[in-house]
């Protein structure tokens, strides 16, 4: 079945993704963050002690499920294809950059949409930056940017990441090797089986529907094609209804869970993510899905995101959530500290060089 053959099937795919996200939120994942690929990679990096931030350490079964669901459905539908060799180190760098931008904003493009559906106006500011970043990346593609061709490799190569992630999940459940938060976002999660099964279905649907948050806007910019946006619309509507019914919808800039109102950095953070995602060939979710269906290049991008998460928390690049005043502490505006701001500007400079100057050198 070709899920991409009509907008109705794409819309239905988005509805399924929205229902899964709503269920994960209902069963315990953080409010306003039912699913966030960047945050879940960050939490998993913390669980493996790649960083020591105590409130964001938990090996998220969803990361395993996204790649595993894509892997299983690709095998079943004979779409599995092991490929590699398309500028791996640049992809690794783009993975780091995507993570820096995401953690300055405090969320990947998927979480941005979920925050929008919960009434978080900061996410709408970030959406402007994301669209501008995707548009800049699309311009680079029109100017001739390319990471080169990927080549077929041994079938086992493309299966390494899903299998390794599955092994790490087993270790996280059966041993005490991994760290686990006792408070904060890392301590909030659905039961392991619910998370894993939901994510397996999510990954399978995302693979069949070619879900990509950056790709949906890129297709509009380059081809005036709105098909992939239909998936995002279905997801958004379901989560909007869920938040309205459960009382989680609050239209405001302030008081939002794990968010800040530093508008310039919300915008620039997601500008970086959109720009990098187009150059890399997909948003963080799409990279995991592609890695699951056999792309070692996307697996390298995932490793870049994993290292980027560690870098962000080890070197104070990640944004901080705003905090209301308490009896013992003053209110905090949140947002990135100076190192994070410098990192975002540096990422923009690197992306402009990769996207445009590299083409000139080739010519």
106-143 pLDDT per residue, tens: 999 999 999 999 999 999 999 999 999 999 999 999 99
> Residue by residue, what is the 3-state secondary structure of the chain?
CCHHHCHHHHHHHHHHHHHHHHHHHHCCCCCCCCCCHHHHHHHHHHHCCCCCCCCCCCCCHHHHHHHHHHHHHHHHCCCCCCEECCCHHHHHHHHHHHHHHHHHHCCCHHHHHHHHHCCEHHHHHHHHHHHHHHHHHHHHHHCCCCCCCCEECCHHHHHHHHHHHHHHHHHHHHCCCCCCCCCCHHHCCCCHHHHHHHHHHHHHHHHHHCCCHHHHHHHHHHHCCCHHHHHHHHHHHHHHHHHHHHCCCCCECCCCCCCCCCHHHHHHHHHHHHHHHHHHCCCHHHHHHHHHCCEHHHHHHHHHHHHHHHHHHHCCCCCECCECCCCCCCCECCECCHHHHHHHHHHHHHHHHHHHHHHHHHC
348-358 pLDDT per residue, tens: 999 999 999 85
User: What residue spans define the domains of the chain?
Assistant: 3-362
Q: How much of the chain, in percent, has pLDDT values that exceed 90?
A: 91
User: What does pTM read for this prediction?
Assistant: 0.95
Reply yes or no on whether the pLDDT at 95 is more than 60: yes
How confident is the model at residue 32, as a pLDDT? 76
């Amino acid at each position: 079945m070709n899920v991409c053959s009509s907008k109705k099937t794409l819309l239905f795919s988005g509805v399924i993704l929205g229902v899964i996200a709503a269920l994960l939120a209902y069963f315990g994942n953080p409010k306003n963050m039912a699913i966030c690929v960047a945050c879940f990679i960050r939490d998993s990096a913390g669980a493996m002690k790649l960083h020591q931030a105590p409130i964001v350490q938990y090996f998220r079964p969803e990361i395993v499920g996204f790649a595993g669901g894509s892997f299983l459905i690709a095998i079943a539908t004979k779409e599995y294809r092991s490929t590699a060799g398309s500028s791996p180190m640049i992809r690794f760098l783009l993975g780091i950059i995507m993570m820096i931008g995401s953690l300055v904003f405090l969320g990947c493009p998927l979480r941005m949409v979920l925050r929008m559906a919960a009434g978080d106006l900061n996410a709408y500011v970030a959406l402007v930056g994301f669209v501008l970043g995707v548009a800049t990346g699309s311009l680079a593609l029109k100017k001739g940017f390319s990471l080169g061709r990927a080549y077929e490799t041994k079938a086992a190569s493309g299966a390494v990441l899903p299998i390794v992630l599955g092994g790490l999940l087993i270790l996280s459940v059966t041993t005490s090797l991994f760290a686990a938060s006792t408070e904060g976002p890392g301590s909030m999660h659905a039961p392991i089986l619910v998370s894993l099964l939901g994510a397996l279905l999510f990954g399978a649907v995302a693979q069949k529907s070619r879900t990509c948050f950056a790709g949906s806007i890129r297709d509009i910019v380059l081809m005036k094609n709105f098909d992939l946006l239909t998936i995002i619309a279905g997801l958004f509507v379901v989560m909007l209804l869920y938040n309205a019914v459960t009382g989680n919808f609050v239209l405001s800039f302030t008081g939002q869970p794990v968010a800040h109102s530093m508008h310039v950095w919300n915008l620039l953070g997601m500008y970086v993510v959109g720009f990098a995602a187009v150059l890399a060939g997909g948003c963080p979710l799409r990279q995991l899905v592609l890695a699951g269906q056999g792309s070692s290049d996307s697996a390298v991008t995932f490793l870049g995101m994993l290292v980027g998460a560690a870098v962000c928390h080890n070197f104070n690049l990640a944004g901080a959530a705003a905090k209301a005043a308490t009896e013992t502490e003053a209110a905090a505006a949140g947002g990135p500290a100076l190192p994070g701001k410098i990192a975002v500007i540096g990422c923009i400079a690197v992306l402009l060089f990769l996207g445009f100057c590299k083409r000139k050198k080739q010519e």
